[in-house]
A and B are shown apart, each in its own frame.
Chain A
């Protein structure tokens, strides 16, 4: 009985440190695992937040670009951002069917009509007040041919407006500034009697461009 008791105590004494050591190690491991998990969770959380912010930014940028495209593709803008045929377009609700400018008018390669008949022959520096009278602005001309928007997709116009070789050597900040400042651009929002203006305003459109640009100016796929 004494021997059994001794052996039991000896076993306890031998095993206890091992168990204690094991317990300590397990505890340490558990704490380490817990810290790593916490760290990992925190990283995951942060990543999700970043992804979430990026998603929000991307969504905002897409929404902002869609509004810019609404403006750029509107007849008040696109009718004069025409391809290399140099023919101004007549399109929009008050025109009925879409056509090229009446009376065989061409902007010519100069895009101010100098080779054919000057735009300023009929277009004064302000809108005519007469129904169907000629619209006007301090400068009246077609946009440069490389800034061709007529019937172009959102992706095509997006890529063009970002390309300095095709946007007049502008940064996107310059593009926004151009929208804010240019008198002929502003005509799109005050096009005279009977014509539907472009949506939003010049300032809002410039703000949409800057919002889109600040999120990396993504273009539609």
Chain B
């Protein structure tokens, strides 16, 4: 089957039932999305499918239609996405394992709502767990990214 990831089309020969995360990591060597719980409970595997956040560990690749974006496709070290830049500014990461998923969820939130209040941030981000407890820095970074987006769009 054909799978478009980060703007590149790939031919993959896998079972339709294989979770998208397995295809990304083991078949395409795209290892930004992480395996955490394997049951869509932690958010470490979050990617975008057509701009919407999705838990790649629980979506069979045969059900994916459209463009897949991983943390590698969101921005690069030389040209960071506004959310990645805010993450660096606030030094959000501690161990960092959950952060690709956190950033993908935050980017999807700000795409829908460029001015989220605390409640909206909590609603959108509560299903991304962080064992290090970086939640206060996550919230601060989301607000900074939101402000930067609004200023850019003003």
Contacts and interface: CB of A to CB of B under 8 A. Distances in A.
A98 B38 CA distance: 24
Interface string B48-65: 000011110011100100
A101 to B, nearest CB: 10
Closest 8 CB pairs of A and B: A104-B126, A122-B40, A116-B123, A103-B127, A133-B39, A134-B40, A124-B59, A121-B53
Q: Is the interface of A mostly helix, strand, loop or mixed?
A: loop
17 contacts: A102-B41, A104-B123, A104-B126, A105-B126, A116-B123, A116-B124, A117-B53, A117-B124, A120-B54, A121-B46, A122-B127, A124-B60, A124-B63, A125-B63, A128-B39, A134-B55, A134-B58
B58 A122 contact: yes
Interface string B92-118: 000000000000010001001100000
Contacts, number: 63
B39 A116 contact: no
Contacts of B39: 128, 130-134
Interface in A79-120: 102-106, 114-118, 120
Q: Is the interface of B mostly helix, strand, loop or mixed?
A: mixed
Contacts of A122: 40, 55, 58, 127
A126 interface: yes
A126 B41 contact: no
Contacts of A121: 40, 46, 52-55, 127
B81 to A, nearest CB: 19
Interface residues of B, number: 23
B122 interface: yes
Contacts of B14: none
Interface of A: 102-106, 114-118, 120-122, 124-126, 128, 130-134
A126 B52 contact: no
Nearest to B53: A121
B120 interface: yes
Given A117-B124, A124-B58, A133 B40 contact: yes
A125 B122 CA distance: 26
Given A117-B124, A118-B53, A122-B55, A103 B105 contact: no
Contacts of B124: 116-117
A130 B41 CA distance: 12
A104 B105 CA distance: 14
A130 B42 CA distance: 15
Contact of B127 (A117, A126, A131): A117
A106 B63 contact: no
B53 A126 contact: no
A103 B126 contact: yes
